[in-house]
Amino acid sequence: MTLKPLEASLFKKIPEELKLPMRQSGVVVVEDALIKLWTLPKDTNTVVLIGGRGGMKTWCASDFIAHQAAVNNKRCVVLRDEHSRIKDTILNEILDRYDAIPFKTDTEKLTTGIKDAKAGKDLVFTMGFRASDNKKKANMKGISDIDIAVVEEAEDITDPDKFNTFVDGLRKEGCLVIVILNTPDIGHFILKSYFDTIDAPIPEGVPEQFKKDFEGYYKIVPKKNIPGFVAIQTGYTDNPHLPKHVVDRYNSYKDPSSNLYNPHYYMTAIMGYASTGRKGQVLKKVQAIPLADYMALPFKEYYGQDFGTAAPAGFVGVKFDKNNCYCREINYLPMNVLSIAKLYCQLGLTASDKIVADCADEKAIKKLKSGFRIEELSEEDYKNYPGIVNGFHVVPCVKGSDSVRNGIDKMDTLNLFAVSESKNLWSEIYNRVYDQDKNGNYTNDPKPGNDHLQDPWMYVIQDRFSKKGQSSIAV
């Protein structure tokens, strides 16, 4: 029998007396948002089913597996982070979908899966990325003769090596890997491998004073030109079967007047947008720019310097274009003042390159500004870094009462861009959060740490706008 997928919206229009005969002839009713799973390009090897709650991802994938095993004799393995938990979710759904097939097949339903009734071969079975016993290791070598591998709740799988070890072992020609997951945090390896991100839209109808609660989330966009990759994104708005009270509850999470108001949960779990996984993030709207694009920007580069011999001596480059501000990480290693001066020489910095440094270390600023005396340097250092005796254009940053809060407020008024390759800068952006009081409410002060690059970025911005909104840096 040949399976013939048909969109549910079209099936509804068919006379009732014809529906059962059509299904018995091999027509499979598929929800419109998931029809792509049944009409994949011939060279497809990886499908990622992703989105928020209520998007029918597991339901439709289980229906696909049940039919492929029962009718097309496809051998399917179902995987999850921990093997003992599989039977509680998708396997039961596969068996339910199998029971709903309206014609006989040469297969047999088991409590653990589906098997070929004639050959006795398992057609649907399970395994885990982790053994149920923590003392044991799961065998992640690929299983022979697999047609379809379904990875369920992939957001729980955090070790890309285990995932890749399994997939690399699937060597049957035409093998298909289906990955099912609710949208994970932005750092998850599935997102990094298959998706780009753009700023997520703020939901319609949110009052102006609450819009900030919905900032800092990212809509995921499938990467282009990945051979054999297909993304299927669904959400609760694609599901016509959800009861009204469930839809109302989902919508209440975005309503400031509701007792269930929870913007983070709404944007992530319900809408399927990605986040850093950190509530209370300080900088929420930073966009990525490739290093090559940053370097090509035709604007003067200014520099920000944090000091540290145990902690990082963060050093950044910053460019401005009207209300756009761009930043790149240059150094994240701890450095003494002499090493910093050598770095400036290596970068070719001159008196025309303004460096805004942490004013807390007046001695370091004075030394970098005046330069080193020849007798303070080794013969080799003087030979390799002759400019070190001349000093550099280093100025102290502007600090005052609430300078951190004011600096962050100023940054929030700009369109901020960070270089994609600046890994430590992005780590700070993702992990710097506001402190909480004893009741768990966020204060206006960031937690200490994750500021060795963000602070010097802020120093440059504050210096630029330090005079009643007028730039103090010549453009």
- Identify the CATH number of the domain in which residue 422 sits: 3.30.420.280
Give the residue from 235, 270, 305 where a domain finishes: 270
- Tell me if 333 is assigned to some domain: yes
* Best CA proximity match to 305, nearest among 274, 276, 335, 264: 335
Radius of gyration of the chain (CA): 29
Q: Are residues 262 and 320 in the same domain?
A: no
Question: Do residues 260 and 304 share a domain?
Answer: no
The whole-number pLDDT of residue 472 equals 47
Q: What tens digit of pLDDT does each residue of 387-445 get?
A: 999 999 999 998 866 788 888 889 989 999 999 899 999 989 888 888 888 877 778 78
- How many domains are there within the chain? 2
CB atoms within 10 A of CB 166: 24
Q: Which residues contact 201 (CB under 8 A, 6 or more apart)?
A: 219
Hey, is 362 helix, strand or coil? helix
pLDDT per residue as tens digits for the range 334-377: 999 999 999 999 999 999 999 999 999 999 999 999 999 999 99
- Asked which of 243, 270, 297 is the last residue of a domain, the reply is 270
Domain check: are 299 and 417 in the same one? Answer: yes
* 240 domain residue, yes or no: yes
- Torsion-angle region of 81 (φ positive above 0: left; ψ -120 to 50: alpha; else: beta): alpha
Q: Which pLDDT value is given to residue 137?
A: 46
Q: Choose from 268-282, 355-369, 432-446, 458-472 the range with maximum mean pLDDT.
A: 355-369
pLDDT band at residue 271 using 50, 70 and 90 as cut-offs: very high
pLDDT score recorded for residue 285: 80
> Tell me, what amino acid is at 266?
Y
- 10 in any annotated domain: no
Compute CA distances 313 → 192, 317, 429, 443, 456, whole Å. 28, 14, 17, 27, 10
DSSP string spanning 138-168?
A: ---SPPTT-SEEEE-SGGG---HHHHHHHHH
Q: What pLDDT does 88 receive?
A: 57
**Claim to verify: residue 308 and residue 429 sit in the same structural domain:** yes
Per-residue pLDDT at 135: 45
Burial class (CB in 10 A: 0-12, 13-18, 19+), 463: buried
The answer on 258 and 317 residing in a single domain is no
Percent of the chain topping pLDDT 70 = 92
Q: Minimum mean pLDDT among 86-100, 164-178, 353-367, 451-465: which range?
A: 86-100
Q: Is residue 277 part of a domain?
A: no
CATH of the domain at 266: 3.40.50.300
Residues 188 and 325 in one domain: no
pLDDT greater than 60 at residue 141: no
For residues 387 and 347, is the Cβ–Cβ distance under 8 A? no
Residue where a domain stops, chosen among 221, 243, 270: 270
Asked if the model's pLDDT at residue 139 lies above 90, the reply is: no
* Together in a domain, 307 and 452: yes
Indicate whether 394 and 460 sit together in one domain.
yes
**How do residues 179-193 score in pLDDT, each as one tens digit?**
999 999 888 999 989
pLDDT band at residue 281 under the 50/70/90 scheme: confident
- Residue 11 within a domain: no
Structural contact between residues 428 and 454, judged by C-beta atoms closer than 8 angstroms:
yes
Rounded to whole angstroms, what are the CA distances from 101 to 1, 44, 90, 104, 435? 13, 26, 17, 8, 55
pLDDT in tens, 227-267: 999 999 999 999 999 999 999 999 999 999 999 999 999 99
- Residue 343 sits in which domain range? 287-464
Whether residues 364 and 456 fall in one domain: yes
Q: Are 417 and 289 in contact (CB under 8 A)?
A: yes
Local confidence band at 277 (pLDDT 50, 70, 90 cut-offs): low
- Quick one: pLDDT at residue 33? 96
185 falls within a domain: yes
Query: What is the mean predicted confidence (pLDDT) over 89-102?
Result: 92
Q: Same domain, yes or no, for 221 and 338? A: no
Residue 96 lies in a domain: yes
Whether residue 22 lies inside any domain: the answer is: no
238 in the same domain as 165? yes
pLDDT tens-digit profile of 67-77? 999 999 999 99
Q: Let me know whether 158 and 291 are in one domain.
A: no
Q: How far apart are CA 59 and CA 46, in angstroms?
A: 18
